Amino acid sequence: MRFNLLLFFSLAISFASAQQSTLYLNRNIYNFYDPALNEKGVYFHTAIKPYRIAEMDSIIQYDFVFRLQKLSGDKFFGKVWNWIAYDNMVQVNQPDFHLTIDPFINFTGGLELEAGKGVWTNTRGLTISGDIGEKKKVSFTTTARENQAKVPDYLAEFITTYNVFPGQGKVRAFKDKGSNKFDYANATGYVSYTPSKYFNFQLGHDKNFIGDGYRSMLLSDNALYYPFFKITTSVWKFKYMNLYTEFDDAMNADSIDAIIGVTRKWGSFHYLSFDAFDWAQIGVFEGILWPQNDSVKYRGFDFNYINPIIFFRPIEFGLGSPDNAVIGANIKLKPIDDLILYGQFMLDDLDVAAARNGKGFYRNKFGVQAGIKYFLHTDDYKHSGVVQVELDQANPYTYAHKEPVQNYAHYNQPLAHPLGANFREINVLLNYRGWYRYYADIKLQHAIIGYDTSATSHVGSNIFVSDFTIPGFPDSYGNEIGQGLKTTIKSADLRGGFLLNPKINLNIEGQIFIRNFENAIEKQNTVLFMLALKTDLFNSYYDF
């Protein structure tokens, strides 16, 4: 089933009275708030993203982070500058109703140096947010935008292979086919209802993220937007999230769904976070994915998985089903002020008995993350920064499944790490914010991944291929990270700019992006120089 957001907006407005919305899911926005939210002794569940602003306000508020002084007087220039640089473009403020309307733009132009080609992005849209009622129990946010882009060769290759612009929308060729130009549209939205301090309910079409890192091995915002219903419960030092989703598989459409080009699949996830100490936060995760249709019948949403307090694996085993169950853990430690250590473990499959017969058994499917963050900031937040180092890796065949439609993916992209599986990656990120407005970001990546050597090989990186095609299945041993066509990916992303309007993260930005992709067969070098005026509200991952 598809959610009609306008219908649910109308229902929410007619039934309730309003609550503040969530912070846009963008790591650069979060960098402003994370030093305060991660202080030793502060109880805030940072692994569940996006953050709810109402929960953040008790720790750090917008006016403290962005203590910006408007121009005084009533001259025309001052009024225009204050409107552009400090306020929402359109505002309605009443005792029982608050509404903002802002542009959503991305005007980027630049040059791909190696190929001698121009690259650009042209995005136009709107973002609308509102609260209704004096008691602030309901809020809503929606965005809609139309996009055209001319992209570098490596991105064009990905887009034409998977028929999706990374994390942003299904594509069609724009003007000349084969010219690296694409047209795509996207929209997000949700309604949030908070009846008490203990519960929050969200119904929407957006993304979610679990973890404290740049990547997530559990659930990330890498893939396309999807319909979801989320229940968040906060009691004492616990925070518990139930997430029910609908995903699409556009690569393995069955005969029933072929007319619409995708096979529907469903997901149900639990995440329990516990502030064990003022220096330690521990979370446990479980999820299950199942197809809308199996070999004998139409299943739709399986209500066996709707119980919010239950372990999925025994239920799945009791049903005798082949559904895809995953479990994991997230941990964050704060040994000293301004320093956090974090990590994740994700288990997709495990056969201890078979693994004793040899090393590298294919069903030892798991992913690991280990990272460190150090926050730099002055007491008045005029200057702040983050230094971060993160290691991520996933064994071959992790996130895949015997039935490809049940893989851990949505619309041809992984739900966790963009490299899929059979990789090891390290990222170094440096971030600086000065005098509230100026910023600089540096991100360095080094990854090793093993790719298939032919159209019929399966070495473990392609999570869209059935486990039945694994060499030696079901007795496949000797598997290791990087097997197959060993490939290195190195990238450097350098950005600097000026924050024009913090309300909508409107930036003027310059960027240099360098990427090297190399194996025994192919070598790609990409060097991009770009300038942009953009409202940067969502994460984009092009480092793969």
Tens of pLDDT, residues 432-483: 998 768 999 999 999 999 999 998 999 999 999 999 999 999 999 999 999 9
DSSP type of residue 132:
E
Q: Is the pLDDT of residue 20 over 70?
A: no
Please choose, from the candidates 372, 403, 445, the residue with its C-alpha nearest in 3D space to the C-alpha of residue 212: 372
Apex CA 47: angle with CA 224 and CA 186, to 5°?
Answer: 20
Does 540 reside within a domain?
A: no
Higher pLDDT pick, 255 / 154: 154
Does 315 reside within a domain?
A: yes
pLDDT value, residue 7: 35
**pLDDT band at residue 199 under the 50/70/90 scheme:** very high
Higher pLDDT pick, 274 / 115: 274
Sequence-separated (6 or more) residues with CB below 8 Å from residue 70: 78, 82, 86
Q: Compute the residue count for the chain.
A: 544
**pLDDT band at residue 5 under the 50/70/90 scheme:** very low
CATH code of the domain covering residue 471? 2.40.160.130
Point out the least confidently predicted range of 19-23, 374-378, 509-513.
19-23
Does 541 reside within a domain?
A: no
Higher pLDDT pick, 408 / 6: 408
Point out the least confidently predicted range of 112-116, 175-179, 227-231, 408-412.
175-179
Q: Is the pLDDT of residue 117 over 70?
A: yes
Apex CA 110: angle with CA 107 and CA 115, to 5°?
Answer: 140
The CA distances from residue 409 to 221, 286, 401, in Å, are: 11, 15, 11
Split into its structural domains, the chain has a count of 1
Q: What is the 3-state secondary structure (H, E, C) of 148-183?
A: EEECCHHHHHHHHHHCEECCCEEEEECCCCCCCEEE
Does 134 reside within a domain?
A: no
Higher pLDDT pick, 519 / 305: 519
pLDDT value, residue 2: 41
Task: Give me the sign of the Cα torsion angle 32, 35, 50, 149.
Answer: positive
Percentage of the chain lying above the pLDDT 90 cut = 73
Does 542 reside within a domain?
A: no
Distance from the first to the final alpha carbon of the chain: 32
Higher pLDDT pick, 444 / 40: 444
Sequence-separated (6 or more) residues with CB below 8 Å from residue 238: 272, 273, 274, 275
Nearest-angstrom CA–CA distance, 62 and 69 = 14
Does 251 reside within a domain?
A: yes
* Mean predicted confidence (pLDDT) in 40-65: 93
Q: Which domain holds residue 337?
A: 5-129+139-535
* Mean predicted confidence (pLDDT) in 260-282: 91
pLDDT value, residue 92: 93
Q: Phi first, then psi: give them for residue 2, nearest 5 degrees.
A: -110, 140
Q: Is the pLDDT of residue 137 over 70?
A: yes
Does 511 reside within a domain?
A: yes
pLDDT value, residue 478: 96
Nearest-angstrom CA–CA distance, 485 and 180 = 26
Nearest-angstrom CA–CA distance, 346 and 330 = 9
Consecutive H or E run containing 85: helix 76-85
DSSP type of residue 70:
P
Higher pLDDT pick, 292 / 285: 285
Widest distance between CA atoms in the chain: 80
Entry pTM? 0.93
Residue written as token pair 């939205």: 189
Other Cβ atoms closer than 10 A to 376: 15
* Mean predicted confidence (pLDDT) in 399-412: 94
Q: Is the pLDDT of residue 399 over 50?
A: yes
Question: What are the tokens at 448?
Answer: 């090793």
